[in-house]
Amino acid sequence: MGAGKKVLFIVPNIVGDKGAATAPLPGVAYIAGAARAAGYEVKIIDMRVEPKGLFKRIELLAPDLIGISFMTMEFSHVFDFVNSLKTAFPKIPLVMGGAGGSTLGIQVLKSTTAEYVLTREGERAIVELLSGKENAQISSLIWKDERGKIIENSARPFELKLDELAFPAYDLFPMELYVDSKIPVVTSRGCPYLCTFCANKAAQGAPWRPRTPENILKEISFWHEKGFRQFHFVDDNFTLDMSRAEKICDLIINSGMKIRWDLRNGIRADKVNEALLTKMKQSGCFYFALGIESIDQEVLDKMKKNLKAEAVFEAVRIARKSGIPFGGFFIIGLLGDTYAKFLKCYDFAKHAGFSEVRFYNPIPFPSTELYAELVERNMLLSKPEEYLNMNSKTFGDDPIFATPEFSVEERKKAIKLGQKLVMQKLLAKEFGSIAGTAAALLWQVKPLQAALKGPGLQVWRTLRRYKRRKVMTVRNR
């Protein structure tokens, strides 16, 4: 391709009415930042908040390359979208990436008319692709040659020096259109743990790679100067090195910046203590979640969580003492789980003091150990192309697999009960305990869910935007 090229990154609007975009995507922002730092002209269209007029905008922008990032459970709709895009613009090369690209790999090019897939981390690969480097020489690139043969290059080593990467280009997103006015911050990548259900290893790898506290503060300061006061730390292992986490908090405190930040992606229950929570609160942390999954030791061991149930109980104790609102993540029905064990988790989630909870119906992603075992034991109830579909009417509701110890009907009951508690706590947080409980009961009626989905989301968006204006009083000063 070479110098002077223009690249357009598109975030497809796949979720539709099942959600609302709260913030820009860090992965796309990082790759866009890398391309811009290398001297290329970069544009971003986020169809989640700008769904109309895509083809007209592409005609006006006339990009030399279009990049599309997607999640694994969006793949069927994204593939259709990509093929329609190629039909409309046959001469513009398409490169696909994100978690979906890393998880599905070659399958992406087998199922679409795209020319390229970038796996793992894409900051350096996108620059090499734009520069005109030979396809065969670009690590972590999957591509089609002139005969249409699909070639998968060797994997690129994971980026170790994250401080050297350009900051994510959130300024290229339409920041005023998101539900929340917050900046996502990635303080580390990778995870050394071996949870059987987790697909993140395909995209980010096993080695944990932290940014330095000083580099993180520099990014926060950059956006603070532009008027942003709320930040969302999006990595899964912010507290893996608790001394590093404390230093980040210390730097924020000593900087004098008055910010609010949260850890909604969850942290490990055995990587938190009272001293850290105290500093988190002092530096502006207003919410964090604990990745618990289960309080049954056998279930924790089978999922290879490397976590003791006692550590969960201790983490909840000190979390309550900290005064920071906190949440808990649970997974229903992993191997070794039973309905009786679920009920114990449910009771714990209901009474332990969580301000929010999440009960997840486990999704066996094709790259995971869980998926491989379920296939080997013939336990899947549907195929990945069926259950990896976020726009399905039953997405998240129907069991994807069952075991002799935890039947389909028991799983359906557990999922329904878990979702009820999720809604009770969310609505109680927004509207108070009495009104929230009543609203949660109404939400359980399926016809009402369908009728209220649109208006309910609109009310939720309005409330969140009101809170955003209330909290974020400084913009672009």
Q: For residue 336, what are its two tokens?
A: 């070794």
Q: What residue has token string 């999640």?
A: 71
The rounded distance, in Å, linking the Cα atoms of 421 and 259 is: 31
Q: Which ranges of the chain have pLDDT less than 70? A: 1-3, 15-20, 391-395, 433-477
- 150 — phi, psi (to 5°)? -90, 130
The rounded distance, in Å, linking the Cα atoms of 33 and 437 is: 44
Among the listed residues 264, 247, 369, the one whose alpha carbon sits nearest the alpha carbon of residue 326: 264
Q: What is the pTM assigned to this prediction?
A: 0.90
Q: Name residue 328's amino acid.
A: G
Q: pLDDT of 168-210, one tens digit each? A: 999 999 999 998 889 999 999 999 999 999 998 888 888 999 9
Q: How many CB atoms lie within 10 A of CB 185?
A: 21
pLDDT of res. 75: 87
3-state secondary structure of 454: helix
Q: Which CATH number describes the domain made up of 6-152? A: 3.40.50.280
Q: pLDDT of 14-55, one tens digit each? A: 755 445 688 999 999 999 999 999 999 999 999 999 999 999
CB 375 within 8 A of CB 413: no
> Looking at domain 182-444, which CATH architecture does it have?
Alpha-Beta Horseshoe (3.80)
- The upper half-sphere exposure of residue 131, i.e. CA atoms within 13 Å in the direction of its Cβ, equals 16
pLDDT of res. 447: 57
pLDDT of res. 476: 36
pLDDT of res. 4: 75
Q: What residue has token string 């998101």?
A: 178
Among the listed residues 240, 230, 300, the one whose alpha carbon sits nearest the alpha carbon of residue 262: 230
CB 79 within 8 A of CB 57: no
Q: pLDDT of 119-162, one tens digit each? A: 999 999 999 999 999 999 999 999 999 999 999 999 999 999 99
Every domain of the chain and the residues it spans: 6-152, 182-444
Cα R_g (the chain), whole angstroms: 22
Instruction: Kindly report each contact of residues 219-223 with a partner whose C-beta sits within 8 Å and lies 24 or more positions away, as own/partner.
Output: 219/167, 219/185, 220/183, 220/185, 220/252, 220/257, 220/259, 221/255, 221/257, 222/167, 223/170, 223/183
pLDDT of res. 473: 38
pLDDT of res. 463: 53
Sign of CA dihedral 452, 457, 458, 460: positive
Q: Do the bridges between strand 285-293 and strand 150-152 make them parallel or antiparallel, or are there none, so unpaired?
A: unpaired
What is the dihedral angle through the alpha carbons of 402, 404, 410, 416, rounded to the nearest 10 degrees? -30
- 51 — phi, psi (to 5°)? -80, -15
Strands (E), 311-440: 326-331, 356-360
- 251 — phi, psi (to 5°)? -65, -40
pLDDT of res. 394: 58
